[in-house]
Amino acid sequence: MSPSEFTGPSRIVAGRYPAPGTDSLADAMRERRGARGLTPLDANLLHIPLIASGYNTMLGAIRTKGKLPGDIREAMILRVGAINHAAFEWIHHENVGREEGLTTGQLYAIRDAKTPLPPVGTILSSLQIAALAYADHSTRDVRVPMPVIQELKQQLKAWAITSSPSLADEDINIKVDDLYVEAVMVVAAYNLVSRFLLGTDVAGISDMEVPWPVERREHFIVLPSFPSASAPTHTIHAVTLITSPSAPWLVFANSLLTDWSMWSFVIPYFLDLQSSENTTYNILLHSQRGHGLSTLPPKSELHERRTTIPLLATDIANILDALSIPTPVRAIIGVSQGGAAALAFAAMYVDKTRGIVACDTAARTPAGNKEAWEERIRLVRGPEDSVLSNEYAKDTGMGKLAKTTVPRWFPPGSLCSSGVAEGDKQARSVEEMVMRTDVDGFVEGARALGDYDVLGLSPAGVASSDNEALFKTSAERILLLAGSLDGGGKVGKGLQDLSTKWNSPSTTFVEIEGAGHLPMIDSPAKFCDALKQWLGTF
């Protein structure tokens, strides 16, 4: 997105554009801006020449005279713009950030100010994360906790030692203090900038959404309930991230009790990942029916279930068709309920994908799980004689379910149960997702997980007489993935056994050590590395 596209007038004040040679201050601003000339921001500042002069001097020094690494400076500026909804600030600094080395994936993580910062080892460096954490606290809360300050100084010191190995310790400490003060000023100054941008409606875009560094679109797709149905019955909320028109597609399917945003910790990584065609990947995310902003079909006398595992696979196929996404896609990647749907997709729609990733799931309901799911439903709905069942379930039951589910998903040994601040943030974000899940969406999904079997699934989506039909899929690659801590290791053991029974060179089992039920959240670096290696095989 070119900054030159946004030169419209403010709806609040009339900008001032003195002709060249008629105003020394305006001429100085033109000199700093170069070929762009006076910007709408300059025009609004010129209402108060002395302030405009000070602004021009200070911001020029911050942008061009400092010693901070350029990627750190621009990352902090862009984060401020994202948090403050300052589209003009983002538009004018995204290209600068790229010039300083920030990748599309890193820019996406910086722009995604709703998601806790991704852990070290996936997409951002330790110094970038420390700088962004400082920018977050300073921008949102003004007062920055001392541990956040200390971490930033520690990371600045590590960088200073690496970049100036000949400096004495005393000189290194002086340099770190200088760099820290500069970082503080970058964040403070660009908070000033964003507030002035919005307060004076620079370029007339103060209401504009901050752009994303990829083509990002939201879709609400109305679909039929069943493969044989023609009338639309429910809406699926989907998000597409397009890095290149020719890039292959990765499709992600969420677990029960979450929505598409559960993948947010790893999305930036896959935006930068190179495919075998030497291009990036495009990404399709969606919330399965009854989750997030996706709705359930209405109740019907003809069909007892509004959610089944085969129907979730059919929804994915219908989304691909509705969005005209070229098939076969590179991979359908699902976890838990989404992983079961990915396996069903392998049986029903093999011509629409080259690969399947089934994470922390099973090909059929494990023995005893049906009653376990019914027990969780009773926990949400409350006592059977409760006359406030629906209200209770929404206001109290889902909270109780969250408190029991999240510790089970992230057992002792998982980052998200360690008490480390990074893991706590991720665990809280999952807990919030569970609590806001639609009650009926949970119940329908729980009952789908309580009674399914995709081993004998036919392309029509019904059980066939061949109870090993799934193994005959012609998908090029199958990855079965499990966190080592999930179910005390039982989930991984089940998937490993499934891989053995599959008995195909195209099928791989990978266990992620130290991960629970959602490895993409508590062990994102290991999860991404496993998928990178697997995707590199085809």
CATH number of the domain bearing residue 146 = 1.20.1290.10
Tens digits of per-residue pLDDT, 112-160?
Answer: 999 998 877 789 999 999 999 999 999 999 999 999 999 999 999 999 9
For residue 488, how many other CB atoms are within 10 A of its CB? Answer: 10
Is residue 437 domain-resident? no
Q: 169 — alpha (psi -120 to 50), left (phi > 0) or beta? A: alpha
Q: Is the pLDDT of residue 201 over 90?
A: yes
Check residue 413 and give its pLDDT: 95
DSSP 196-222: HHHHTTGGG-TTSPPPPSSEEEEEEEE
Task: Show which of 142, 166, 200 is a domain's final residue.
Answer: 200
Where does the pLDDT of residue 302 fall: very low under 50, low under 70, confident under 90, or very high at 90 and above? low
Task: Show which of 167, 200, 233 is a domain's final residue.
Answer: 200
My answer on whether 172 and 283 are in the same domain is no
Is residue 6 domain-resident? no
DSSP state of 522: H
My answer on whether 243 and 286 are in the same domain is yes
Check residue 56 and give its pLDDT: 87
Is residue 413 domain-resident? no
Is beta strand 232-242 parallel, antiparallel or unpaired with respect to 282-286?
Answer: antiparallel
Give the mean pLDDT of 387-410: 89
Is residue 12 domain-resident? no
Is residue 307 domain-resident? yes
My answer on whether 226 and 159 are in the same domain is no
Cα–Cα distance, 422 to 85 (Å, whole number):
25
Where does the pLDDT of residue 340 fall: very low under 50, low under 70, confident under 90, or very high at 90 and above? very high
Range of the domain at 183: 24-200
- By the 8 A CB rule, do 269 and 279 touch? no
SS3 content of the chain, % helix, strand, coil (to 5): 50, 10, 35
Angle between helices 421-435 and 398-409 (to 10 degrees): 140
My answer on whether 88 and 219 are in the same domain is no
Is residue 163 domain-resident? yes
My answer on whether 171 and 297 are in the same domain is no
My answer on whether 194 and 319 are in the same domain is no
Report the chain's mean pLDDT, rounded to a whole number: 93
Percentage of residues in the chain with pLDDT exceeding 70?
98
Task: Show which of 200, 232, 256 is a domain's final residue.
Answer: 200
Where does the pLDDT of residue 229 fall: very low under 50, low under 70, confident under 90, or very high at 90 and above? confident
| 66, HSE (Cβ side, Cα atoms, 13 Å) | 25
Domains contained in the chain, number: 2
My answer on whether 194 and 317 are in the same domain is no
Residue 367: which H helix or E strand, with range? none
Give the mean pLDDT of 413-442: 93
- pTM of the model as a whole: 0.94
- In the three-class reduction of DSSP (H, G, I as helix; E, B as strand; rest coil), residue 493 is classed as helix
Is residue 38 domain-resident? yes
**Angle ∠(515,519,521) on CA atoms, nearest 5:** 115
Give the mean pLDDT of 260-283: 96
My answer on whether 265 and 310 are in the same domain is yes
Give the mean pLDDT of 269-295: 96
My answer on whether 30 and 90 are in the same domain is yes
Q: Is the pLDDT of residue 277 over 70?
A: yes
CATH of the domain at 238: 3.40.50.1820
My answer on whether 28 and 164 are in the same domain is yes
My answer on whether 184 and 220 are in the same domain is no
Check residue 511 and give its pLDDT: 98
Is residue 169 domain-resident? yes
- Tokens encoding 154: 């520690």
Cα–Cα distance, 536 to 538 (Å, whole number):
6
Check residue 478 and give its pLDDT: 97
Give the mean pLDDT of 42-49: 94
My answer on whether 258 and 284 are in the same domain is yes
